[in-house]
């Protein structure tokens, strides 16, 4: 594998004509709730306009910036071109003076943003990214990442052999770009991991992975599973056929490949065993634990009569992963993959299950519950 040093600015890392796509991809689905929390200004309750409400997320209440700005007399402007929300405090005087000051501030922020893009590179002050070329990927690493996670590049093809066995050899027809960076400085804005099907690119920030108990390999394999899903079936095609209800189908498979097949843990082997330890007894016990009175993210299984019903629980990847374990251990691997083939062909979901497994969606769900002792 040939390694060479190349120079990239931050905008090149995030762009390569991909800026808009990467910006869009940083949107991440979360589990949040609209709340009836009351908002007070100087002791007086403030009614929210129709169609606007506070959001509760992880114990904090978030209020729409437009509502707050209106109440405090602050100008707020959405700068879509630069992906900025611009806030400007009230200046007094007539409207034209205020508009002039606001425009000056917008111009200043635009200049600062452009300067940041032109001059910023890695948080260490170096603009050097290391490029690794493998058979299936082109991997770019910041210096700090390379010093800790070089194996994500040197072992890439070894890890991807798992995908070749699972999805079939020769599936990866197009090279995947993988950007791996640290989480310092400007990179704090791009934490986490995601696969971008539009540009066949993968983004990883492995220092956050290490904090929760994995060394980056789980996330690498999980996200590359999405790349293989995309090149075999087309994530866009699957989304079109299932009206976007994809979570139960794709995320469960990605976790299964990374944890069960590849043998990499996400949260540490003590709480999240991998490989052979993820056997039937483990899946049964974990399902029971998650659904107990003290468990987290319980599923109302009485309302789950078809596999796509699990999409009502988008953050409950484990249940979706368990469905893959069920199919792989009770039916053939080819039958399981045929389910995806049928969906992509345009076959409706009920018929897709029958064509793949010879049984209805509902009957298979009953088998699944019985297999995992789900009450």
Tokens of 125: 């002050």
Which residues are paired to 131 by β-bridges? 4, 140
Contacts of 261 (CB under 8 A, 6+ apart): 162, 165, 166
309 and 183 together in one domain:
no
Which structural domain range is residue 288 located in?
234-375
Tokens of 63: 């209020």
Alpha carbons within 13 A on the beta-carbon side of 316: 21
Cα–Cα–Cα angle for 356, 360, 363, rounded to 5 degrees: 120
135 and 3 together in one domain:
yes
96 and 137 together in one domain:
no
3-state secondary structure the chain: CCEEEEECCHHHHHCCCCHHHHHHHCCCCCCCEECCCCEEECCEEECCCCCCCCEEECCEEECCHHHHHHHHCCEEEEECCCCEEEEECCCCCCHHHHHHHHHHHHHHHHHHHHHHHHHCCCCCCCCEEEEEECCCEEEEECHHHHHHHCHHHHCHHHHHHHHHHHHCCCCCCCCEEEEECCCCHHHHHHCCCEEECCCCEEEECHHHHHHHCCCCHHHHHHHHHHHHHHHHCCHHHHHHHCCCCCHHHHHHHHHHHHHHHCCCCCCCCCCCCCHHHCCHHHHHHHHHHHCCCCCCCCCCHHHCCCHHHHHHCCCCHHHHHHHHHHHHHHCCHHHHHHHHHHHHHCCCHHHHHHHHHCCCHHHHHHHHHHHCCCC
Positive/negative CA dihedral, 108, 114, 115, 121: positive
135 and 187 together in one domain:
yes
DSSP run (H or E) holding 76: strand 75-79
209 and 129 together in one domain:
yes
Domains held by the chain: number: 4
Q: Which of 232, 262, 281 is the last residue of a domain?
A: 232
Q: Which of 232, 252, 269 is the last residue of a domain?
A: 232
In whole angstroms, give the CA distance from residue 107 to residue 95: 18
260 and 347 together in one domain:
yes
136 and 180 together in one domain:
yes
Tokens of 286: 């974990």
The closest alpha carbon to 291, from 321, 323, 283, belongs to 283
305 and 286 together in one domain:
yes
Q: Which of 232, 258, 293 is the last residue of a domain?
A: 232
20 and 135 together in one domain:
yes
In whole angstroms, give the CA distance from residue 341 to residue 176: 22
172 and 200 together in one domain:
yes
- Predicted TM-score (pTM) of the model is 0.68
Q: By three-state DSSP, how is residue 275 classified?
A: helix
19 and 125 together in one domain:
yes
The DSSP symbol for 272 reads S
Per-residue pLDDT of the chain in tens (375 residues, 90 and over written 9): 434 443 333 333 333 333 333 344 455 667 777 777 777 776 677 777 766 778 776 667 777 776 776 666 666 665 555 556 666 555 444 444 445 555 565 565 555 445 444 444 444 434 578 999 999 999 999 888 899 999 999 999 999 999 999 999 989 989 999 989 887 765 665 667 888 887 888 888 888 788 777 889 999 999 999 999 999 999 888 888 887 678 889 999 999 999 999 999 999 888 899 999 999 999 999 999 888 766 666 799 999 999 999 988 888 899 999 999 999 999 999 999 999 999 999 999 999 999 999 999 999 999 999 999 998
User: What CATH number is given to the structural domain containing 228?
Assistant: 3.30.2010.30
199 and 331 together in one domain:
no
């Amino acid at each position: 594998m040939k390694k060479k040093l190349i120079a990239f600015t931050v905008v090149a890392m995030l762009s390569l004509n991909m800026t808009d796509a990467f910006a869009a991809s940083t949107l991440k689905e979360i589990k949040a709730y609209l709340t009836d929390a009351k908002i007070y200004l100087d002791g007086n309750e403030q009614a929210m306009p129709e169609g606007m409400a506070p959001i509760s997320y992880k114990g904090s209440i978030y209020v729409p910036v437009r509502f707050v700005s209106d109440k405090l007399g602050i100008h707020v402007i959405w700068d879509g071109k630069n992906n900025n929300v611009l806030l400007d405090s009230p200046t007094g005087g007539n409207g034209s003076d205020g508009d002039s000051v606001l425009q000056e501030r917008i111009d200043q922020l635009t200049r600062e943003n452009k300067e940041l893009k032109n001059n910023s590179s890695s948080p260490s002050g170096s603009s050097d990214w290391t490029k690794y070329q493998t058979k299936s990927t082109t991997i770019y690493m910041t210096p700090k990442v390379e010093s800790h996670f070089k194996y994500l590049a040197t072992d890439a093809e070894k890890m991807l052999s798992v995908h070749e066995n699972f999805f079939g050899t020769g599936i990866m027809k197009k090279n995947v770009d993988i950007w791996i960076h640290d989480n310092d400085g400007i990179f704090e804005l791009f934490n986490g991991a995601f696969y971008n099907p539009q540009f066949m690119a993968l983004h990883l920030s492995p220092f956050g992975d290490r904090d929760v108990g994995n060394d980056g390999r789980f996330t690498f394999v999980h996200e590359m599973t999405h790349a293989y899903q995309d090149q075999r079936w087309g994530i866009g095609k699957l989304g079109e056929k299932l009206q976007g209800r994809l979570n139960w189908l794709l995320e469960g498979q990605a976790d299964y490949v990374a944890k069960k097949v590849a043998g990499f843990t996400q949260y540490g082997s003590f709480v999240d065993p991998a490989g052979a330890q993820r056997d039937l007894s483990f899946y049964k016990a974990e399902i029971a634990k998650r659904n107990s009175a003290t468990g987290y993210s319980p599923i109302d299984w009485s309302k789950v009569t078809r596999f796509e019903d699990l999409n009502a629980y988008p953050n409950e990847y484990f249940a979706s992963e368990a469905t893959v374990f069920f199919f792989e251990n009770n039916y053939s691997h080819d039958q399981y993959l045929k389910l995806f083939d049928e969906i992509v062909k345009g076959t409706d979901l009920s018929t897709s299950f029958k064509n793949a497994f010879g049984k209805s969606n509902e009957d298979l769900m009953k088998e699944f519950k019985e297999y995992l002792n789900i009450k």
